[in-house]
Every structure is written in structure tokens, then in C-alpha cells.
Amino acid sequence: MYAFLTGPMLWLSFAICILGCAWRAYKYVKGLSWQLDRVAYGHYPDLAFKGAMKSIFHWLIPFASCSWRAKPVFATAFFLLHIGLVVVPLFLFGHVMIVAERFGLSWPTMPAGLADVLTILAVLAGVFILLRRFALSEVRIITTRHDLMIMAISLAPLVTGFVAAHQSGDGNGWLLAHIITGEIWLIAVPFTKLSHAVLFFCSRAQIGIDFGVKRGGQRGSGIVW
């Protein structure tokens, strides 16, 4: 069981995640239509590139967009959650160790204490975002089961991983749960809203190009995100 989950299943999960994301990105770009979208995508490569990068940058950096600044509490939660979900797993000592063992590849890791803190903060942020969904009427009305499921899928590996790393004695149960939820998470990425892992970049680039080449990027300082 353990061997299967950490062997073929893990491979499969990564493959599905990566190929699925690539497929989604490919479909997205292929489905763009300069005439229907009314954006001359390819005509002004410089403006398009600048617009796309500006658009992504301002939203990837905490508080670099007006919207983030307008909602500092939510933005903080948002970034904590995403750091916990993306950065922590990548630089976690345990994870890097596995890669090193199998491929001989290795990169710097973060201190365990920091990882713990970030994980706890990410889970708290996730819970906060969940609660916010129900507390604020403007968010409640647009919340669907899908959104709750996504949050559950995302928080599960964090919680299980944290417990697995900290319990004493036989941690196999929790570790197993962590591996399973992690794999579920990976597989879910291309098929659910988690696809925003790549589509965020696609969509942001698109609107950046829209504003960059068509809606003002050719004049003045361009759009101020």
C-alpha cells in the first residue's frame, strides 16, 4: 500500500497534475480569439509582454495591487494560504530529502520551525477564508459546494502533514493520510478550480494584454493595477 502510494501513484499524480495543467494552458491559449475577445494579441508583442508581466506581477506580490491594498486582511490570509500551499511543500526538509534520495537532486530547505509556523498560519488563513465565506453576505451568495470542497482538498494535506510530522510513535496512519490527500490535491488541480494554479497566469496575462495593447497601454502610464 505504502509502496504503491509513494511509487506509481505518486508518479501518476504528478503526471496528471503537470500534464493536465499543461493541457489547460494549451487549451486556454488555443481558445483565444483576437476577434471575439477583441484584443490584438499578437500584433504588439512588446506591449503585450509588458502588459502581461505587469498584470501578473502586481497581483503576485503582496499588496502590489489596489485591490490587495483595499482588503489587507483578506490579502494577508490569501498570501499566507498560498505560501503554505506552494512554498512550504517545495522547501520542506522532508520533501527535499525524498527528492534527494531518489534523484540526487537537492536544494536549500527551510527550517522546520518556520515551516511549522507557516503551515499553521496557512491552515488558520484557510479557516479564516472559509469563515469569511459564510460571514459576509457578498461572499456567501456566490459560494458553492465546489469552493468548500476545494478548500478541504487544499487544507487536508497541510493538516495531515503537520500532524504526521509532529506525532510521536507510529505515524504511519497520518503519513499515509498525508500522502493520499496530497495526491488527491495534485490530481484535483487540473480538473477543478485549483487549475487556477496555471489559469491564474493565463487569465492575468490575458487581461494584462487587453489593457496593454487595447485599453490604454499605448498611452500614458497604462493601467494602474
- DSSP conformational letter for 38: T
d(CA 101, CA 193): 33
Task: For 168-225, give the DSSP string.
Answer: -S--HHHHHHHHHHHHHHHHHHHHSGGGHHHHHHHHHHHHHHIIIIISSTTSTT----
The answer to whether the CB of 211 falls within 8 A of the CB of 40 is no
CB of 2 to another protein, least distance (A): 35
CB of 138 to another protein, least distance (A): 4
Which candidate, 190, 224, 215, 154, places its Cα nearest to that of 26? Answer: 190
The answer to whether the CB of 20 falls within 8 A of the CB of 189 is yes
Looking at beta carbons only, is 16 or 52 nearer to another protein? 52
Looking at beta carbons only, is 95 or 196 nearer to another protein? 196
d(CA 83, CA 122): 7
Looking at beta carbons only, is 70 or 112 nearer to another protein? 70
Binding residues for another protein (CB under 8 A): 27-40, 43, 55, 59, 65-67, 70-71, 74, 78, 133, 136-144, 147, 193, 195-196, 199-200, 202-204, 206-208, 210, 213-225
Looking at beta carbons only, is 76 or 143 nearer to another protein? 143
CB of 32 to another protein, least distance (A): 6
CB atoms closer than 10 angstroms to residue 210: 22
CB of 165 to another protein, least distance (A): 29
CB of 180 to another protein, least distance (A): 25
Q: Which residue has the cell 494552458?
A: 25
CB of 188 to another protein, least distance (A): 14
Looking at beta carbons only, is 22 or 29 nearer to another protein? 29
Q: How many residues does the chain have?
A: 225
Looking at beta carbons only, is 59 or 185 nearer to another protein? 59
